[in-house]
Structure 1
Amino acid sequence: MRSVFVLLCMTSIMLFAALAIGDHPVAVTQIFSALTDGAAADAQAAQIIRDVRLPRVVLGFLVGASLAVAGMIAQSVLRNPLAEPGLIGVNAGAALAAVIVIVRFEVPPTHLLSLLAFAGAFMMSLLIYGLSWNSGSSSLRIILIGVGLSSLAWAGANFISAFGDPQAVQRAMVWLSGSIYNSTWEKSRTLAVWLATGMVGCGLIAREMDMLALGDETARARGQPVELIRAVMFSLCAVLSGAAVAAAGLVAFVGLIAPHIARLLVGYSHGLLLPVTALIGGLLVVAADLAARTLFTPAQLPVGLMTAILGAPFFAYLMWRKKNA
């Protein structure tokens, strides 16, 4: 458990670094004063911490945790180390819904954009699972149909963009790149509810997920309702991924990277994987956002672009290792 303790320490350090570092550096003592309403808190520092950085850090952590757990579920239900919601098509439904809303409305209401992005991801997951059903589902059918529907959804988004207002299309592209710049406590509260729901759901079926990882035949021989568990897992994946995408747009590769790091630390038991994967996902997004807003100042890159820069080489490494295994 030493690795878990180190991970907790790293997460705490990164959270404080994200609060302290920026265009206006804030001392650690001022951070504590701002968070505890201390009398020594400087007014400007308190405003920066409470109104700007803290909502951004909290939302980034929740987004990373949600995407990481969704990726863990996707890899478990498909028994594929390269699976994650973005790669199997779940996020494409959210992207299509978001593009429609942003292009249709000059200034789309935040709650409407979030709601329809979530609905798009969830509907896409239901469509993928429904079309893959043939007296049961299989990992290969889910992946193939997910890839096909993802391509269709992206084609629809590009078609809408081609005939949309250029300014609206530009706003859609910014959203699709993934950003937690416009963070609010309302977004964090909503995402926290969905993350808690997904974590509790995964915790309740953690042993079933362990059994399913042994293979369908083995799980059935032990009396597990395989299709029911797979459907529940797929639904949890869609809920977590859809909620994260609705809050921050498309943040790539977190759901791919975090579960692999977690398995290196605690093994393959989903009961242990669940909290560790969530911690690693939150840490990755907070660190990526800190890098995105400080490395190229005064410009601030979208956090989704930074995670893609970090994740693409990792994905290539996984492909290479799978090929040479």
Structure 2
Amino acid sequence: MSNARSGAAPVVTLPRPEPAPHAPGRRIRIAAAFGVSVLALALLAVIHLTQGTSEIGAVDLLRLARGHGDEATWNILLGSRLPRLAAALVVGVALGVAGAVLQSVARNALASPDTLAVSAGAYLAVTIAAAFGLSLPLLPAGGLAFVGGLGAAVFVLLLSAGGASGPTRLVLAGSATALAFSSVTALLLLLFEEQTKGLFAWGSGSLVQADLDPSAQMAPIVVAAVGGLVVLGHRLDILALGDDTAASLGLPVRRTRVTAVLLAVLLTAAAVTVAGPIGFVGLCAPVIVRLAAPLVPGLLRHRVLLPLSGVAGALIVVGADVLLRAALGGQGGVDVPTGVVTSVVGAVVLVLLARQHRDAGPTRRPPAARTGGARSRGRFWLVLLVALLATAGAALAGMLLGDTLLLTGDVLNWLTGASGPRVTFVLNERMPRVAAALLAGAALAIAGVTVQAACRNPLAEPGILGITAGASLGAVSLLTFVPLASVVAMSVAAGVGALVAFALVYGLAWRRELNPDRLVLIGIGLSAGFTALTTLIVVVHDPWNTAKALTWLSGSTYGRTFAQVVPVLVALLVLTPVVVTLRRELDLMALDDDTPRVLGVRLEVTRLAVLTGAALLASTAVSAVGAVGFAGLVAPHVARALVGPQHRRVIPVAAVVGALLVSLADTLGRFVIAPAQVPAGLLTALLGTPYFVWLLWRSRA
């Protein structure tokens, strides 16, 4: 499909809607598509009603339908199973239609309520209300979710030039915004635990319902919004031809786009209000319908596409819930959020989509392209000295600040063995935490430098490539299945998880050559899938002891020992010299693919080597402090801004800046609400996201 703005290079484009199907054969095929979809949905709904925690099955429901059932069966049906089914139908239809509209407006098959952070914005708005003691009825709560979702959607679309600059920018902008909102949400859940009780499970997308009221109140809103969008269907068909063409045909482009986005956000808010953020339904449902378009001519017309996407969304949600309860039983369906299953399915769809498309321009510019020229040697040494002093100060602050305030003299006495029992106990606890934060920050920063150079993508970092999520999955899996595992075993599990994730991302992104944009998109998809699998493992196998796993997932240094720091130190000592040795190759890879080959660099071998090193560094960092977000993104950019693009200078400065960032986040997390603590990963994400957003905004043109 043609792009509205010249110079943009959308990677994931949507086919143009076809002319109206005048031929009877086309109408029959469309009717058949609807018939088959509705029939499949009805069959799944019947199966869904037979599942639950009680012994009531299909025979009992059949008797009830024939008027011979007992009161207990009727009460279970009305009190549990019908409300859950109704919620699945309302949520599925709402998200399916919303996803189809957002993809059409952005002209991007990767747009959805998730990738545009609409669900995260709605969830944050509801959490803020709960944290400050606002107990709202359902409809006002839905209105609040609408405001939060709308703000998120507008913000992401502004950062990504309305989605026209390609899927990488759209998905990265949405992921960064969603991460920032999720971090604030997690912080509120931590600080206001009593007020927000119950919102954590709801935030993963749960269909557990007490009665039919939520679905009954939101269903008319969903029907009205879907009806409004169907009425707009012809305008959306014209809008898909491009802004210039649509305007020349007399279409009010801006008004049509704004109206469509408002209705899509309203649908998403309704879904979030009923069941929380259920991931990836809005991405998968329209994609499935569009994949069937070659078999059913006329399916891409929006007056057909939108309602059929709603049916597909309902099929996905109901089917995921049926699959969940068939695999884990009725109680498993209560304990495990349905959103976990849909996230795994959505991750697969995102990966398959990303494999189909080529690179797009702005985010692929080399990291050095926006940092100016080289700096003087004197400036480099000055910056490095100042950064080292600042890091030393942060380390000292980390030892002094916390629930117990100490003095510098206490540290000196502790170092000489002359401190009292109380000071000794406090510093024996704090020192491993300070060391873990410093070393993990340095490791993540060096990994970020290598990933950005190897991918020629200034927005890449180990977390975005799925390495962090893979390492977390490995560590949490070992903690869950082998609670008494040693520190070495846990580090090995994290390393294996990171390397498996890296191998999957790299292998799936490889098609004759490595495609950097594809690498990022596949990494984001697999990261979402690994995170969902981690949640599934924790909830299914160890639901009463999640704190140990959640500590890793939120990025905390709590309870760390020196033994857990040793793997990070070893990785830094072994791999940093390797990265420094390859500094010339990193400089060349950051330019393009041709220059390294001309100068004799074995490009793919070198790229594989540095990315493997990044995976190892990130995995050991995760084994020490858990999933710390954005340290690997921010530190390299700060270093380039200070000392220029040459990697022989960027690497040491980035390592020190990374150590400083994570150390400050850890100290602030331990001090600001002492004796309670905020996980370092949350604060690092909050500190790093504004820079990430600024980077996207600066390169939006």
What band does the TM-score fall into relative to the shorter chain?
Answer: over 0.9
How do residues 39-50 of structure 1 correspond to structure 2 at under 5 angstroms?
A: 39=418, 41-49=419-427
User: Aligned partners of 1:224 and 1:98: how far apart in 2?
Assistant: 36
- Of 33, 55, 67, which residue of structure 1 is paired with 2:413? 33
CA-CA distance at 1:107 after TM superposition: 5.1
Q: What is the rounded CA distance, in whole Å, between the counterparts of 1:53 and 1:14 in structure 2?
A: 13
| Aligned residue among 150, 160, 185 for 2:537 | 160
Q: Secondary structure at the match of 1:300?
A: coil
Q: Compute the displacement of 1:29 (Å).
A: 2.1
State how far apart, in whole Å, the 1-side matches of 2:682 and 2:407 are.
29
Cα distance in 2 between the residues matched to 1:173 and 1:189: 22
- For residues 54-75 of structure 1, the C-alpha deviation after alignment (integer angstroms, 9 at most, x for no partner) is 2111111001101111111111
SS at match of 1:168: coil
Counterpart contact for 2:467–2:502, Cα < 8 Å: yes
Which residue is equivalent to 1:11? 391
Q: Which letter does structure 1 place at the counterpart of 2:468?
A: N
Match of 2:697 in 1: 320
Return closer, same or farther for 1:298/1:136 CA change in 2, 3 Å cut-off: same
Whole-angstrom CA distance in 1 between matches of 2:568 and 2:509: 29
1:106 Cα offset (Å)? 4.8
AA paired with 1:291? Answer: L
Matched letter for residue 76 of structure 1:
A
Match of 1:22 among 389, 392, 402: 402
Match of 1:208 in 2: 585
Equivalent position to 1:54, from 394, 411, 431: 431
Whole-Å separation in 2 of the counterparts to 1:212 and 1:122: 22
Equivalent residues of 2:487, 2:564 under 8 A apart: no
Q: Which piece of structure 1 moves more, 292-301 or 23-32? A: 23-32
Residue 46 of structure 1 deviates from its aligned partner by 3.5
- 2:526 matched to 1:149? yes
CA contact (8 A) 2:448 2:636 kept: yes
Aligned amino acid, residue 80 of structure 1: N
Provide the secondary structure at the position in 2 that maps to 1:188. Answer: helix
Judged with a 3 Å threshold, the aligned counterparts in structure 2 of structure 1 residues 163 and 53 are, in CA distance, closer, same or farther, namely closer
Query: Letter of the aligned partner of 1:131 in structure 2?
Result: L
User: Residue 124 of structure 1 aligns to a residue in which SS?
Assistant: helix
Match of 1:249 in 2: 626
SS in 2 for 1:323: coil
CA distance, structure 2, for counterparts of residue 300 and residue 189 of structure 1:
24
Give the Cα–Cα distance (whole angstroms) in 2 for the partners of residues 157 and 18 of structure 1.
31
Q: CA deviation at 1:13?
A: 1.4
1:127 is matched with which residue? 504
Indicate conservation of the 8 Å contact 2:538/2:546, yes or no: yes
Q: Deviations over 1:276-312 (max 9, x none)?
A: 1110111111111110011011211111111112122
Q: TM-score, normalised by structure 2?
A: 0.44
Counterpart of 1:271 (choices 628, 639, 648) is 648
CA distance in 1, matches of 2:446, 2:505: 19
Distance in 2 of aligned mates of 1:154 and 1:8: 35
Separation (CA, whole Å) in 2 of partners of 1:57 and 1:293: 11
AA matched with 2:426:
I
Whether contact under 8 Å (2:509, 2:519) holds in the other structure is: yes
Alignment of 1:109-120 (within 5 A): 109-120=486-497
The alignment's TM-score, normalised by the length of structure 1, stands at 0.92
Which residue of 439, 442, 465 maps to 1:65?
Answer: 442
Stretch deviating more after TM superposition (147-156 or 191-200): 147-156
| CA shift for structure 1 position 169 | 3.3
- 1:172-183 alignment runs, 5 A limit: 172-183=549-560
Checking the alignment, whether the CA contact within 8 Å between 1:4 and 1:265 is kept in structure 2 is no
Q: Secondary structure at the match of 1:88?
A: coil
Contact 2:469–2:627 (Cα < 8 Å) also in 1: no
Q: Which amino acid aligns with 2:480?
A: V
Inter-CA distance 144–32: structure 2 relative to 1 (3 Å threshold): same
Structure 2 gap segments, 5+ residues each: 1-378
Per-residue deviation, 1:33: 2.7
C-alpha separation in 1, matches of 2:587 and 2:513: 20
Verify the 8 A CA contact 2:429 2:559 in the aligned structure 1.
Answer: no
Return the structure number with greater helix share.
1
Note if 1:88 corresponds to 2:468. Answer: no
Which position in structure 1 is the counterpart of 2:572?
Answer: 195
Return the alpha-carbon distance in structure 2 between the equivalents of residues 312 and 151 of structure 1.
Answer: 18
What is the deviation of 1:264?
A: 1.2
Rg comparison, structure with higher value: 2
Give yes or no for contact 1:102–1:169 (8 Å, CA) kept in 2.
Answer: no
Of residues 96, 103, 123 in structure 1, which corresponds to 2:480?
Answer: 103
Structure 1, 314-323 or 292-301: larger mean CA deviation: 314-323
| Identity among equivalent pairs (%) | 38
Task: Identify the residue that residue 260 of structure 2 maps to in structure 1.
Answer: none
Instruction: Report the CA distance between 1:7 and its aligned residue.
Output: 1.4
Q: Is the CA contact 2:402–2:675 (under 8 Å) kept in the aligned structure 1?
A: no
Asked if 2 retains the 8 angstrom alpha-carbon contact of 1:194 and 1:239, the reply is yes
> Which amino acid in 1 is paired with 2:406?
V
Aligned residue identity for 1:250:
A
Deviations 1:154-202 (A, max 9, x none): 2322333442332233432222111111221111222100111221110
Q: CA deviation at 1:109?
A: 4.2
The letter of the residue matching 1:35 is L
| Residue identity matched to 1:24 | T
Shift of 1:43: 4.3
> Which stretch of the first structure deviates more once superposed, 134-143 or 15-24?
134-143
Contact residue 102 and residue 168 of structure 1 kept, 8 A:
no
User: Of the candidates 129, 140, 146, which is equivalent to residue 517 of structure 2?
Assistant: 140
How far off its partner does 1:270 sit?
0.6
Aligned length: 321
Q: Kindly indicate whether the alpha-carbon contact (under 8 Å) linking 1:292 and 1:303 is maintained by their aligned counterparts in 2.
A: yes
CA distance in 2, matches of 1:154, 1:55: 27
Higher deviation after alignment, 16-25 or 145-154: 145-154
Shift of 1:112: 2.9
Per the alignment, residue 296 of structure 1 pairs with 673
Residues 46-96 of structure 1 show CA distances to partners (whole Å, capped at 9, x for unaligned) of: 4422x1122111111001101111111111111111111111111121122
CA distances 1:16-56 after superposition (whole Å, capped 9, x unpaired)? 1111222222221221232244x5x444324422x112211
Q: CA deviation at 1:265?
A: 1.2
Where does the alignment leave 5 or more consecutive residues of structure 1 unmatched?
none
Please say if residues 128 and 145 of structure 1, whose CA atoms lie closer than 8 Å, have aligned partners that are also in contact. yes
With over 3 angstroms needed to count, the CA separation of the structure-2 counterparts of 1:323 and 1:169, relative to structure 1, is same
- Give me the whole-angstrom Cα distance separating, in 2, the residues matched to 1:232 and 1:6: 32
Is the CA contact 1:266–1:273 (under 8 Å) kept in the aligned structure 2? yes
Asked if the contact 2:465/2:502 (under 8 Å) is kept, the reply is no
The more displaced of 120-129 and 163-172 is: 163-172
